[in-house]
Structure 1
Amino acid sequence: MKIKELIFYPIKSCRGIHLSHAKVGDKGLSDYNNSLYYDRTFMIVDESGKFITQRQHPQLARVIVTIDGEKITLSFDNSSMDSITFTPQNQGNMVEVQVWGDRTLAIDQGKEVAQWFQEILSVKNCRLVKQDDYNIRAINPQYSTQSNQPVSFADGFPYLLTNTASLDYLNQKLEDKYPHQQQQISMDRFRPNIVIETDTPFIEDTWENITLGEIKFKIVKPCSRCQITTTNQKTGMVNSLNEPLKTLSTFRNIPQQGIMFGQNMIALNHGKLTQSPPLSPSP
């Protein structure tokens, strides 16, 4: 087993950034060489403060996020729209925001970047907000490892683990179902933070803990999947056949819980993760 990919998503539902070295903290991965912003530090909200994601606006998959020191540049892939560069604000106008059933306070990031998102989403009065470190959004205590354990603007947990063998198994199902169509998908449909390479599909379901390098993680809950898996993460186009979710539902559906792929995790210590180098063939 090795670490195949490390990805963090500075802005919820926008395109992720692949890392060779990642810093592991309470709220998720960050770039080891520039750890100012962690996974899902930012999110877009509507005028009522409710979170906006690819579920409603799949074109968010085309928003490329680039970080240079403190500054963040946003560009809209395959469009003539100008990019925008801004320096995130750590103080300023506090707004109440909602992520699923959680309400918390966040820092509004200003008019200019808000207008940029309003244009690509065609949503009036949406805003970009940054999580405020002094207003903790807590992990569900049913799964947390300590009291008032923080999580970012991720759906529920700081880390999501997926397995290459699981994806290979799903893609074989899709190939068998659509022998004359190209329905196979890449791992980015599941928006993981850590991708491991194994030979056994869904072996992660059998683990309670996993140690990767110097970091030990508690595996807390399978990840239920939604319509975002049907969105091509390069083009923002939604699959007309509802794939791969439709096929995944035939063998990964747990009644009253959802269609599962991957495992949510909590880090039990802090430190560094490194993408494993490719294995050289034996002489």
Structure 2
Amino acid sequence: MSSAILTNINTYPIKSIKGVSLNRALVKDTGLELDRNFVITDLNGKFITGRTKSSLVLVESKITSAGLILNAPGMPELAIFYANFSKTYQNVQVWNDQISAQHCDDKIDHWFSMYLNFSCKVYYLGEHSHRSVLGYEHKLSFADGYPLLLISEASLNALNNRLKQPVTMAQFRPNLVVSQCLDFAEDGWHKIRIGDVNFEIVKPCSRCIFTTVNEVNGQRNKQKEPLSTLKKFRQAQDKEIYFGQNLIALNEGSIKIGDKVEIISKQTAPQYSNLKL
């Protein structure tokens, strides 16, 4: 089989909204440039995601030089300008991490509060923001725990072959999608190179109820698919269900669609104890 290639690059400027497909991207310590640099919180600063507010996946963003332009069903278009952000920093909570984040502005808070029918605030990973994560030395965005997620198209096909209703890659929200490799080949990769960037695959990605949210209608699958099917062949001894691989970038650089995925080193792929074909 020929070498794997990079076929999709996706960034998610605001945590849990619809991804933006890119032809090329700059990779930084925090992951892809702009990836999850914004987070929505409740009034106490606790983060909000599509796990509880599934309609967030219907919010579309366009990246501009000055900020973002947002659209969502039933809402007027919203322009976000970095220049209008407040100078106020507040601690926000993403999982167990406390992060000093820059409050955006009241207009953005109001827009999301109206859309979600829930009082909320929006914060940005500003110049003075810092988030330290155990075992990761670099700056991290509002991502769950790691800066990048990779999945192969072959792995999605292997899952869809087991499903009555196929799902799209968008439900798993990867940053990097690769093709021309065997299904779950990425389980055994350790260090890879794409474009200018060397990456290390640090752990499989454990999956949650968010994967059951349909990216087209924002509705959660009543049968908890595809999570229920994944559980049958991708659940480990720790009872977590894994699909996709978490990466860190070992240097900054650029990547683009069509780049070769060079496998620098491999590792032993995890074993899933309840494998059911």
Q: How far apart, CA to CA, are the structure 1 residues paired with 2:232 and 2:28?
A: 36
Q: How far apart, CA to CA, are the structure 1 residues paired with 2:239 and 2:101?
A: 30
Is there any run of 5+ residues in structure 1 with no aligned partner, and where? Answer: 31-37, 278-283
Is the partner of 1:208 in helix, strand or coil? strand
> What does residue 98 of structure 1 align with?
93
> What does residue 61 of structure 1 align with?
57
> What does residue 28 of structure 1 align with?
31
**Pair 1:50-2:38 in alignment:** no
CA displacement at 1:72 relative to structure 2: 1.3
> What does residue 6 of structure 2 align with?
3
With over 3 angstroms needed to count, the CA separation of the structure-2 counterparts of 1:118 and 1:90, relative to structure 1, is closer
CA displacement at 1:80 relative to structure 2: 3.1
Amino acid at match of 2:122: L
Amino acid at match of 1:12: K
State the Cα RMSD in Å.
1.3
> What does residue 265 of structure 2 align with?
none
**Pair 1:116-2:111 in alignment:** yes
Asked whether the equivalents of residues 218 and 267 of structure 1 are also in contact (C-alpha less than 8 Å), the reply is: yes
Runs in 1 of length 4+ with deviation above 6 angstroms? none
> What does residue 21 of structure 2 align with?
18
Is there any run of 5+ residues in structure 2 with no aligned partner, and where? Answer: 260-277
Asked whether the equivalents of residues 85 and 105 of structure 2 are also in contact (C-alpha less than 8 Å), the reply is: no
Q: How far apart, CA to CA, are the structure 1 residues paired with 2:67 and 2:129?
A: 23
> What does residue 225 of structure 2 align with?
243
Identity %: 38
Q: How far apart, CA to CA, are the structure 2 residues paired with 1:256 and 1:99?
A: 23
> What does residue 234 of structure 1 align with?
216
Is the partner of 2:202 in helix, strand or coil? strand
Q: How far apart, CA to CA, are the structure 1 residues paired with 2:103 and 2:12?
A: 19
> What does residue 144 of structure 2 align with?
155
Matches within 5 A, 1:1-283: 1-30=4-33, 38-76=34-72, 79-88=73-82, 89=84, 91-124=86-119, 126-141=120-135, 144=136, 148-174=137-163, 178=164, 183-256=165-238, 258-276=240-258
With over 3 angstroms needed to count, the CA separation of the structure-2 counterparts of 1:133 and 1:156, relative to structure 1, is farther
Q: How far apart, CA to CA, are the structure 2 residues paired with 1:112 and 1:105?
A: 21
With over 3 angstroms needed to count, the CA separation of the structure-2 counterparts of 1:103 and 1:263, relative to structure 1, is same
Q: Give a deviation string over 1:31-61, Cα, whole Å, max 9, x none.
A: xxxxxxx211001000110000000000000
Q: How far apart, CA to CA, are the structure 2 residues paired with 1:271 and 1:133?
A: 20
CA displacement at 1:140 relative to structure 2: 2.6
* TM, length-normalised to structure 2: 0.89
CA displacement at 1:132 relative to structure 2: 2.7
Amino acid at match of 1:118: S
CA displacement at 1:91 relative to structure 2: 5.0
Q: Give a deviation string over 1:81-131, Cα, whole Å, max 9, x none.
A: 21111212565121110000000111111111101000111112x101001
> What does residue 280 of structure 1 align with?
none
Asked whether the equivalents of residues 44 and 129 of structure 1 are also in contact (C-alpha less than 8 Å), the reply is: yes
Q: How far apart, CA to CA, are the structure 1 residues paired with 2:9 and 2:129?
A: 27
